Homo-oligomer: A and B are copies of this chain.
Amino acid sequence: MQTKAKEKEIFLEYLKKNGLKQTTQKALVLDTFLQTEGHLSVDDTYRIVKQKDASIGYVTVYRTLKSLVACGLAREVDLGDGRTRFEHFYDHPHHHHIICTSCKKTIEFLSTDLEQLQEEIMKHYDFEALYHSFQIYGLCSDCKHKRVSTPAAKKDETRNDQVFVRDALRLVINVESKGLSFYLAAAEKTKHPDGRAMFYKIAADEKEHLNILKAKYERLMARSKTLENEPQFLHYNAAILNQLFPPVHEIPKLIPEETNDLQALAIAIDSERESYEFFQTYAQRFKDSKGKRVFVNFTAAEKHHLAQLQKEYQRLKSVYGSQNANGLG
């Protein structure tokens, strides 16, 4: 309920700034919007609000919903039928819609491909993007096979946000596991004792970070029994991730047996930098939301790890440098 307080604060501030007045009606509509967490039409909202205050007018609901848009708590979305729907915007991931033209069921998903395409197109035509909309219309699984349509699993957007966090955690856990396997395999292949020890040390770092992420994931799962089985919300190109750490079978080619600790560090620094840079730009593409924060935090962790490795690299180099000066190299 913390975030709800934040949202109310935003609304009140918006009212104050524009010389507007607080009323019980506005509060009622806002509460309804915050609690319902779905695609609300004016009609939907009016009906719900009416139960709590029979005297409220249709137009008041209209006007209040519009001001929720104006202050950034909501956004209007057009799902193809004539009516405007309002969905949560503040601290919620931007997303796109799949709409079944037969049973009107909607599924929401998120892909940064669209933001990337938008960026490219905008740059090409010298536009400044404000927002975009992407909808796919089609037949859902049920309607396609002429089954009885399951009545639109009423996914609300708090759920969306949680699923985004789940998907984001799964992704970074996946990456971190890849990193771990890579360093372990590299250690196995390395004959040089210092190099091997260094790879094991870096692998231990990865393992530690991985455990933190896994613990976060477990905690999230513990909070909701059904979250694990929700359909995927965040979509990404798996091929990109495979480029972050080379596959295990390429390790013999990449890591010579005689790799020493300094060289091992250099290899790790390259990998970590690549990962860090990827997530740096990737995280940017998301709108503020809990899921985005997973990536932002991961990026920060990777940056920190990278800095540590670089520091260690400098330290080792100067040690070996002075050994060389002593004729020991």
Binding site for B on A (CB under 8 A): 78, 98, 100-101, 107, 109, 111, 113-114, 117-118, 120-122, 124-141, 144, 231-232, 235
Contacts and interface: CB of A to CB of B under 8 A. Distances in A.
B121 A130 contact: no
B129 A136 contact: yes
Nearest to A129: B138
A62 to B, nearest CB: 16
Nearest to A125: B107
B138 A135 contact: no
Number of identical protomers:
2
A113 B124 CA distance: 16
A136 B122 contact: yes
Nearest to A120: B235
A133 B135 CA distance: 5
Contacts of A121: 98, 109, 111, 136, 235
Contact of A138 (B122, B138, B141): B122
A136 B120 contact: no
Contacts of A132: 134-137
A34 to B, nearest CB: 27
Given A78-B78, A133-B133, A128 B138 contact: yes
Given A133-B134, A235-B121, A127 B140 contact: yes
B141 A118 contact: no
Contact of A98 (B127, B137, B231): B127
Interface centre among A78, A109, A134, A135 (most CB of B within 10 A): A134
A76 to B, nearest CB: 11
Instruction: Report, nearest first, the 6 A-B pairs whose CB atoms are least far apart.
Output: A126-B141, A132-B136, A129-B138, A128-B139, A127-B138, A134-B134
B111 A125 contact: no
A123 to B, nearest CB: 11
B117 A141 contact: no
Contact of A128 (B111, B113, B114, B144): B144
A160 to B, nearest CB: 15
Contacts of A118: 136
Given A107-B127, A128-B139, 12 more contacts: A98-B125, A111-B121, A113-B117, A124-B231, A124-B235, A126-B140, A127-B141, A131-B137, A132-B136, A133-B135, A133-B137, A134-B134
Contacts of A135: 132-133
Interface centre among A98, A129, A136 (most CB of B within 10 A): A136
A193 to B, nearest CB: 34
A113 B135 CA distance: 14
A117 B131 CA distance: 19
A231 B126 CA distance: 11
A117 to B, nearest CB: 5
Contacts of A128: 138-139, 144
Contacts of A78: 78
Contacts of A124: 231-232, 235
A114 B111 contact: no
Nearest to A141: B126
